[in-house]
Amino acid sequence: MYDRAHMPFRVVDHPLVEVLVSQLRDKSTEPAHFRVAAGKLAELVIVEATRNLATEPIVIETPLSRCTGARFVRGLAVVPVLRAGLSMLDPALRLFSDVSVGYIGLERSHATAIASSYYCNLPNLHDRDTLLVDPMLATGGSASQAVSLLKGNGASKVVLASIVAAQAGVDRIGQDHPDVEVVAAALDPNLNAQKYIVPGLGDFGDRLYGTL
């Protein structure tokens, strides 16, 4: 049974995150500035979302002495949900070197708010931790479908990283995939009649690519 109190969900707690989220919410922010703020914010969210990646000790030689360092036990697979999720891919690639990339295309009907899959291209997920990136977690339907696709292709540990999450979306993931942790920069309380997050920031993809 889904228990909201014990749902693995975290909001990134940092003053810079609050400032960047505010810039994205502001309707006067132009696409060029929106993209810069979104990229910075994605890096902060991804760092938090990968906090629990397993490492193992290694011995390294510094210019002065030998010491113990660390390396990741497993590689990382990053899977953006098209198209808005692409905004979070480059930040992930800047942060991690051993990365495999997959893509999931889900298109949400504006009339029904139900998503249909039009593309899925995934790497081998069996020996990697999987980071699903989707900036807006609204109803949670698309994200839940994406997680199901990842699990069906061998993913054993999935973390979902978002910019803004609605409580309804967090609850949906908790009900459908209680083993999946959700990390977001902000948690908003409501959805409007068109299933957009309120207060939210509008359509992330449109604002990112200037297709309003």
The catalytic residues are: 108, 112, 203, 206
Residue 121, CA distances (Å) to 79, 104, 105, 118, 171 in order: 9, 7, 9, 10, 27
Tell me how far apart the alpha carbons of residues 124 and 61 are, in angstroms, rounded to a whole number. 33
83 cis-preceded (ω within 30 degrees of 0): yes
Q: Which of 73, 187, 85 minimizes the C-alpha distance to 131? A: 85
CA distance 92 to 95: 5
Angle between helical axes of 15-25 and 31-49 (0-180°, round to 10) = 140
Instruction: Please give the Cα distance from 68 to 90 (Å, whole number).
Output: 30
Spatial distance between the Cα atoms of 37 and 34, rounded to a whole number of angstroms: 5
Distance CA 202, CA 138 (A): 11
β pairing state of 181-188 and 158-166: parallel
